[in-house]
Amino acid sequence: MFVYRLFWKDQELGFVEDVELDREQMDVPSNVHGRFSSIENLETIRPILDFLSTGDLDETVFANALHDERNWWLRDDWGIRRDITLPELCLDEEYRYGSIDWQWRSKQ
């Protein structure tokens, strides 16, 4: 079973497992779904998880960086970086577990 680690820039946010690829529309980039669990130290990443799950963001210094898809990526079991689009999270009330959706980005 593959386990990915979700990153924003160099900040690890959590783990992604049970990845499923939606191939209903082959002519457009396919959506990818998985199960998300956050890292233990929630205090440092809670604003980022809040942004990913609600889309709301206080005006902060890093607001533009959160919207920049170049800052989002997954690391696979072999340590290989896989660039992704801005992910969407649906999290439980404690911000520990939920689902995640994204698309793979090609390296250009």
pLDDT at residue 54 in the model:
81
Number of domains the chain is built from: 1
Q: Are residues 83 and 73 in contact, defined by beta-carbon separation less than 8 angstroms?
A: yes
For residue 47, give its domain range.
4-102
Q: Output the pTM of the full model.
A: 0.85
**Does residue 43 sit within a domain?**
yes
Antiparallel, parallel or unpaired: β 97-102 and 11-21: unpaired
Instruction: Please name the amino acid found at residue 19.
Output: V
pLDDT at residue 95 in the model:
85
| Residue 106 pLDDT exceeds 80 | no
pLDDT digits (tens, 9 = 90+) for 5-25: 999 999 999 999 998 875 554
Q: Where are the beta strands (DSSP E) in the chain?
A: 4-8, 11-21, 32-38, 72-75, 81-83, 88-91, 97-102
Q: Are residues 86 and 8 in contact, defined by beta-carbon separation less than 8 angstroms?
A: no
Q: Are residues 100 and 42 in contact, defined by beta-carbon separation less than 8 angstroms?
A: no
How large a percentage of the chain has pLDDT more than 90? 48
pLDDT digits (tens, 9 = 90+) for 65-95: 888 889 999 999 999 999 999 999 999 988 8
How far lies 33's CA from each of 2, 6, 52, in Å? 13, 13, 14
| Residue 51 pLDDT exceeds 90 | no
**Does residue 62 sit within a domain?**
yes
**Does residue 108 sit within a domain?**
no
**Does residue 69 sit within a domain?**
yes
pLDDT at residue 4 in the model:
95
Phi-psi region of 39 (alpha: psi -120 to 50; beta: other; left: phi over 0): beta
**Does residue 42 sit within a domain?**
yes
Mean pLDDT, the chain, integer: 84
Q: Name the nearest CA neighbour of 98 among 17, 4, 8.
A: 17
